[in-house]
Structure 1
Amino acid sequence: MFELAVKTLRGRASGFAGAFVALLGAATLVTAFGILLQSGAETGVAPQRYAGVPVVAGGAKSFEVRENGKTKSKPLKEPAPLSRETVRKIAGTDGVGSVVPDVSFPAVLGDMAAAGHPWSSARLGPFDLVAGREPQRPGEVVLDAGPGWEAGAAVRIQTTEAAAEYRVVGVAKLSEADGDLRAPVAFFADAEAESLAGRGDRVDAVGVFPRPGVDPGDLADRLTAALGSEAEVTTGDDRSRIENPDVASASSTLREIAGSLGGTVLLIAILVVASTLALSVHQRRRELAVLRAIAATPRQIWKMLAAEALVLSVVASAIGCLPGILAAQLLRGALVLIGVVPEDFSFSVGILPMLVAVLAGVATAQIATFAVAWKASSVRPVEALSDAAVEQPGISGGRRTLGVLLLLLGFAASLLPVFFSGVFAVAGAGSGGLVMIVAVLLLAPPIAAFATRLLAKPITRRFKEYGCLAAANTRANAHRLAAGIGPLVLAIGFACVQLFIPTTLAAAAADQADEGIIAQYTLTGAAGGLPDDAVRDAAALPGAEAATGVTRVPVFASTKVLDSPEIFDFPAQGITVDNAAKTMDLAVSSGNLADLAPGKVALSASAASTLGVKVGDRIKLNLPDGFAAAPAVVAVYQRGSGFGDVTLAHEDVFAHSSRQLDQQILVRARPGTDLASLSAKYPGLTVSAKAGLSDEQRNAATASALSSALPLVLVFAYIALAVANTLVMTTLARTREFALLRLVGMTRDQVLKVLRIEALTVVLIAVAAGSAVPLIPLATVSLGLTGSPVPSIPPLLYLGIVAATALVGAASVLVPAKFALRARPADAIGTRE
Structure 2
Amino acid sequence: MFDLAWSTVRNRKGGFVAAFIAVFFGSALVTACGVLLMSGLLSGVPPERYAGAAVMVGGDQTKEVKEDFDPYFAERVTLPADLAGRVAKVPGVKTAVGDRTVGISLADARGRTVALDRPLYGHGWASAAVAPFALAEGHAPRGARETVLDRDLARRTGLAVGSRARLVVGTTSTTYTVTGLVAPPPGGLKRQSAAFFTDAQAAKLSRRPDRITALGVLAEPGTGAGALAGRIEKALAGSGVPVSVSTGTHVGDLEFLDMGQSRGFLIALSASFGGTALTVVIFVVSSTLGLAIHQRRRELAMLRAIAASPRQIHQLIGGEVLLVSGTAAVLGTAPGYLMAGRLRDAFAAVGVLPADFELSYHPAPAVAAALLCVLGARLAGVIAAWRTARIQPVEALRESEVEPPALGRVRRNVGRALIVIGVAAAVALPMAIPGEPALAGAAGSLLLLMVGCALLGPQLVKITIGVMSPVLRWSRVSGHLALANSRANARRLSAAVVPLALGAAMALMQLSTLSTVQATAEQQAATGVVADYVLTSDGTGLSPELAATVRGVHGVGTATPVVRSQVMLNYLEIDKRTTRPFSAQGLDPHRLDRTLDLDVRQGSLDALRGDTVALSWMAAGTAGLGVGDTADMDLGDGTPRKLKVVAVYGNGLGFGDVTLPYPLLSAHTTSRLDTALLVRASGDDTPVRPALDALARRTPTLQVRDSDEFAAAQQGEFVQQSTINLIANGMLLLYVLIAVVNTLVMATRARGREFGMLRLIGTSERQVRRTMFMESWVVVVTAVVAGVVIAVPPTIGSSLAMTGQAVPHLLPAVWLGVAGFIAVLGRLSIGIATRSALRSRPVDAVYTGE
Shift in CA distance, 624/464, structure 1 to aligned 2, threshold 3 Å: farther
1:542 and 1:244 mapped to 2: Cα distance? 43
1:33 is matched with 33
Amino acid at match of 2:706: A
Q: Does structure 1 retain, via aligned residues, the 8 Å contact 2:568–2:581?
A: yes
Q: Does structure 2 retain, via aligned residues, the 8 Å contact 1:199–1:655?
A: no
1:130 and 1:246 mapped to 2: Cα distance? 30
Q: Does structure 1 retain, via aligned residues, the 8 Å contact 2:121–2:192?
A: yes
1:679 is matched with 696
Q: Does structure 2 retain, via aligned residues, the 8 Å contact 1:78–1:658?
A: yes
2:712 and 2:180 mapped to 1: Cα distance? 36
Q: CA deviation at 1:224?
A: 4.7
Shift in CA distance, 72/244, structure 1 to aligned 2, threshold 3 Å: closer
Amino acid at match of 1:761: V
SS in 1 for 2:63: strand
1:188 is matched with 197
2:12 and 2:31 mapped to 1: Cα distance? 28
Q: Is structure 2 residue 633 aligned with structure 1 residue 621?
A: yes
Amino acid at match of 1:124: V
Q: What is the TM-score of this pair, normalised by structure 1?
A: 0.95
Amino acid at match of 1:30: V
Amino acid at match of 2:822: T
2:800 and 2:290 mapped to 1: Cα distance? 40
Q: Is structure 2 residue 408 aligned with structure 1 residue 379?
A: no
SS in 2 for 1:63: coil
Shift in CA distance, 553/434, structure 1 to aligned 2, threshold 3 Å: farther
Q: Does structure 1 retain, via aligned residues, the 8 Å contact 2:654–2:714?
A: no
Q: Does structure 1 retain, via aligned residues, the 8 Å contact 2:58–2:215?
A: yes
SS in 2 for 1:108: strand
Render the CA deviation track for 1:116-135: whole Å, top value 9, x for unaligned.
22222211211112222222
Q: Does structure 2 retain, via aligned residues, the 8 Å contact 1:305–1:373?
A: yes
1:794 and 1:517 mapped to 2: Cα distance? 26
Identity of aligned residues (%): 37
Q: CA deviation at 1:794?
A: 4.2
2:411 and 2:147 mapped to 1: Cα distance? 73
Shift in CA distance, 65/754, structure 1 to aligned 2, threshold 3 Å: closer
Work out which of the residue numbers 586, 611, 622 in structure 1 matches 2:623: 611
Q: CA deviation at 1:309?
A: 1.2
2:447 is matched with 434
Q: Does structure 2 retain, via aligned residues, the 8 Å contact 1:160–1:196?
A: no
1:399 and 1:227 mapped to 2: Cα distance? 63
Q: Is the deviation greater in 822-831 or in 727-736?
A: 822-831
1:207 is matched with 216
Q: Is the deviation greater in 719-728 or in 112-121?
A: 112-121
Shift in CA distance, 694/91, structure 1 to aligned 2, threshold 3 Å: farther
Give 5+ residue unaligned stretches, structure 2. 108-113
Shift in CA distance, 406/671, structure 1 to aligned 2, threshold 3 Å: farther
What are the equivalent positions in structure 2 for 1:318-329 lying under 5 Å apart? Answer: 318-329=330-341
Q: CA deviation at 1:53?
A: 1.4
1:579 and 1:172 mapped to 2: Cα distance? 50
Q: What is the TM-score of this pair, normalised by structure 2?
A: 0.93
Q: CA deviation at 1:693?
A: 5.5
Q: Is the deviation greater in 705-714 or in 88-97?
A: 88-97
Q: CA deviation at 1:783?
A: 4.3
What are the equivalent positions in structure 2 for 1:225-304 lying under 5 Å apart? Answer: 230-304=242-316
Work out which of the residue numbers 142, 155, 160 in structure 2 matches 1:150: 160
1:12 is matched with 12
1:368 and 1:200 mapped to 2: Cα distance? 64
SS in 2 for 1:439: helix
Q: Is the deviation greater in 816-825 or in 695-704?
A: 695-704
Q: Is structure 2 residue 739 aligned with structure 1 residue 722?
A: yes
1:50 is matched with 50
Q: Is the deviation greater in 219-228 or in 331-340?
A: 219-228
2:359 and 2:101 mapped to 1: Cα distance? 27
Q: Is the deviation greater in 130-139 or in 694-703?
A: 694-703
1:152 and 1:678 mapped to 2: Cα distance? 30
Q: CA deviation at 1:465?
A: 4.7
SS in 2 for 1:630: strand
1:96 is matched with 93
Q: Is the deviation greater in 693-702 or in 144-153?
A: 693-702
1:65 and 1:244 mapped to 2: Cα distance? 23
2:408 is matched with 396
What are the equivalent positions in structure 2 for 1:117-516 lying under 5 Å apart? Answer: 117-147=123-153, 148=155, 149-160=159-170, 162-178=172-188, 180-224=189-233, 230-415=242-427, 416-461=429-474, 465-516=477-528
Work out which of the residue numbers 785, 806, 819 in structure 2 matches 1:768: 785
Q: Is the deviation greater in 229-238 or in 805-814?
A: 229-238
Give 5+ residue unaligned stretches, structure 1. none
Q: Does structure 2 retain, via aligned residues, the 8 Å contact 1:513–1:692?
A: no
Count of aligned pairs: 828
SS in 1 for 2:630: coil
Amino acid at match of 1:218: A
Q: CA deviation at 1:24?
A: 0.5
Q: Is the deviation greater in 563-572 or in 25-34?
A: 563-572
What are the equivalent positions in structure 2 for 1:687-766 lying under 5 Å apart? Answer: 687-691=704-708, 694=711, 697-766=714-783
1:62 and 1:49 mapped to 2: Cα distance? 22
SS in 2 for 1:569: strand
2:69 and 2:763 mapped to 1: Cα distance? 69
Shift in CA distance, 211/694, structure 1 to aligned 2, threshold 3 Å: farther
Shift in CA distance, 802/528, structure 1 to aligned 2, threshold 3 Å: farther
Amino acid at match of 2:262: A
Q: CA deviation at 1:720?
A: 0.9
2:110 is matched with none
SS in 2 for 1:759: helix
RMSD over aligned Cα atoms? 2.3
2:178 and 2:708 mapped to 1: Cα distance? 39
Q: Does structure 2 retain, via aligned residues, the 8 Å contact 1:96–1:209?
A: yes
1:522 is matched with 534
Amino acid at match of 2:161: A
1:225 and 1:429 mapped to 2: Cα distance? 48
1:126 and 1:356 mapped to 2: Cα distance? 43
Q: Does structure 2 retain, via aligned residues, the 8 Å contact 1:71–1:565?
A: no
2:268 and 2:377 mapped to 1: Cα distance? 28
1:751 and 1:580 mapped to 2: Cα distance? 73
SS in 1 for 2:299: helix
Q: Is structure 2 residue 74 aligned with structure 1 residue 81?
A: no
